[in-house]
Amino acid sequence: MQGETTTPATVEKQDHMRRRVLFKHAAHPHQPRNVNLVHEAELAAAGFNTRLAVGLTGRVGTMWTAYSFAVLAIIGLFAILGLLSPLVVALVGWVSQTFIQLVLLPIIMVGQNVLGRKAELQADEQFNTTIKTYHDIEQVMAHLEAQDAELLKQSHMIIHLLQAAGIPPEQVDALQTNGTGNITAVNNVAAANLETPK
C-alpha cells in the first residue's frame, strides 16, 4: 500500500464514489445572442439593392417627404384649375400615379421587409430565451425533488440509527417538541442509552 501512487484520475474516482450525485443538470442548447449585432451583420452583408431599399424607405418615411408630396398635390390642383400649363398636369399625373405607385411602393415594401427582419430576430430570440427559462425552472424543480428525497432518506436513516442505539421514537419526538432537538441533546441521550447495561 505504501508504494502505491495516487493519480488525479484515481483521486477523482474515489471522490465520486464517496459522494453521490443527486441530480445531473441537463443544459439547454440555446445560447443568447445580441440580435442588434446579428441584424447589423446581415445589413452589412446585403447587396446594393437591399441597401438602396433600406435607404429610400428611411427617407420616404419622413415628414419632409410628406411635405413634398403635399406640394406636388397643390401643383396638380393649380394645373387642373388651368393656372398652369397642360404639360404640368401630365407631368404631375405621371409622377404621382406612375412613378410613386409603380416604382417607389415596391422599393418601400422591400425596405420594410429588410427592416422588419430585426423584429423577427428579436421575437425569435425572445421565444428561445423563454423556452430556455422554462427548461431551467424544470431543472431546478427536479433538483429540489431529488434533494427532498435524499433528505427524507437520511431522516429515516437517522431514526433507524437512533433506534439501533436504543433511543425510542417517543424520546426523539419529545426532544423535537420540547425545542431541544439539537445534536448535543441527541448525543447525550444516545450516550446515556449506550452506557446502561442491557
Q: Are 135 and 28 in contact (CB under 8 A)?
A: yes
Residue 150 lies in a domain: no
Could you report the per-residue pLDDT of 129-147, keeping only the tens digit for each?
A: 999 999 999 999 999 998 9
Q: How many separate domains does the chain show?
A: 1
Q: Are 97 and 39 in contact (CB under 8 A)?
A: no
Q: Are 81 and 129 in contact (CB under 8 A)?
A: no
Residue 55 lies in a domain: yes
- Determine the structural domain holding residue 126 and report its residue range: 32-145
Residue 83 lies in a domain: yes
Residue 173 in this model has a pLDDT that exceeds 80: no
User: How many whole angstroms separate alpha carbon 10 and alpha carbon 190?
Assistant: 38
Residue 169 lies in a domain: no
Residue 8 lies in a domain: no
User: How many whole angstroms separate alpha carbon 40 and alpha carbon 38?
Assistant: 6
Pick 8 or 60 by higher pLDDT: 60
Task: Give Cα separations from 77 to 11, 36, 80, 90 (angstroms).
Answer: 92, 45, 5, 12
Residue 38 lies in a domain: yes
Closest among 108, 7, 129 to 56, alpha carbons compared:
108
pTM value is 0.53
What is residue 32's predicted lDDT score, i.e. its pLDDT? 85
What is residue 187's predicted lDDT score, i.e. its pLDDT? 63
Mean residue pLDDT of the chain comes to 80
Residue 179 in this model has a pLDDT that exceeds 70: no
Residue 100 lies in a domain: yes
Residue 77 lies in a domain: yes
DSSP character at residue 178: T
What is residue 167's predicted lDDT score, i.e. its pLDDT? 80
